[in-house]
Amino acid sequence: MKGAKRAFDIVASVCALACIAPFAPFIAAAIAIESGFPVIVALRRVSGGKVVRVYKFRSMVRGAETKKDALRDLNERDGPFFKMAHDPRVTKIGKILRKLRIDEFPQFINVLKGELSVVGPRPHEPEEVMHYPKEFAHIPFAQAGVTGLSQISGASSLLYREELVLDARYLEHVSLWSDIKILVKTVLVFFTDPTGI
């Protein structure tokens, strides 16, 4: 299973990066024109029991992480996860990238590097992971995914515990077939309702 999953990850990532490659220079230029460099950020996330730097097209103002504490009282999610529907740190270009989920594509570089999987639990910040209830403490030791069962089941609209339950359920029944089904559903949602991922 491990070898098949890795092969699946490589093939899917190469295809995804090939699809975004023709548009990447224009995306980078749009980000740079609006808010300067860098156009890609490396965010701290937990995957496989360690902290990795997950790549994304920058959708927020520079130094967005330093402004997060000032917005804590406006958090719209329960538990330690942070979410604001109208986060003032998101740029105009960033809103478009997020709506179309284009900001996520650089994560496939992480997949090729073996830091993420195409399908797996949602990657979260170390500060969020440390608050996981005991029964979910095993989740951060699994390889996180670009997409996953929780992502296609409501993503950030889920309650904190609901997301962890879905990630744990995925790990209990992980298989290449389940990965394929989740990826197909991700692609379908991407083309029909990208905000639903």
Q: Which of 26-30, 76-80, 158-162, 185-189 has the highest mean pLDDT?
A: 26-30
Single pTM value for the model: 0.89
Lowest mean pLDDT among 72-76, 86-90, 171-175: 72-76
Among candidate residues 163, 106, 168, the one with its CA nearest the CA of residue 142: 168
Question: Does residue 190 contact residue 101 with C-beta atoms inside 8 Å?
Answer: yes
Could you give the C-alpha distances from 172 to 72, 138, 142, 175, in angstroms and in order?
33, 11, 11, 9
The band of 193, judged by pLDDT with boundaries at 50, 70 and 90, is: low
Lowest mean pLDDT among 27-36, 146-155, 185-194: 185-194
Give phi and psi for 187, each to the nearest 5.
-65, -40
**Mean pLDDT value across residues 76-105:** 88
Residue 80 has pLDDT above 90, yes or no: no
Give pLDDT tens digits for 25-37: 999 999 999 999 9
Residue 108 has pLDDT above 70, yes or no: yes
**Mean pLDDT value across residues 70-88:** 81
The band of 14, judged by pLDDT with boundaries at 50, 70 and 90, is: very high
How many folded domains does the chain comprise? 1
Enclosing domain of residue 187: 2-196
Beta bridge partners of 43: 54
Beta bridge partners of 55: 42
Among candidate residues 41, 44, 67, 42, the one with its CA nearest the CA of residue 129: 44
Own/partner pairs for 99-106, CB < 8 Å, 24+ apart? 99/194, 99/195, 100/194, 101/190, 101/194, 101/197, 102/20, 102/23, 102/27, 102/57, 103/56, 103/57, 103/58, 103/59, 104/56, 104/146, 105/16, 105/17, 105/20, 105/57, 106/40, 106/55, 106/56, 106/57
Percent of the chain with pLDDT over 70: 95
What pLDDT does residue 81 have? 83
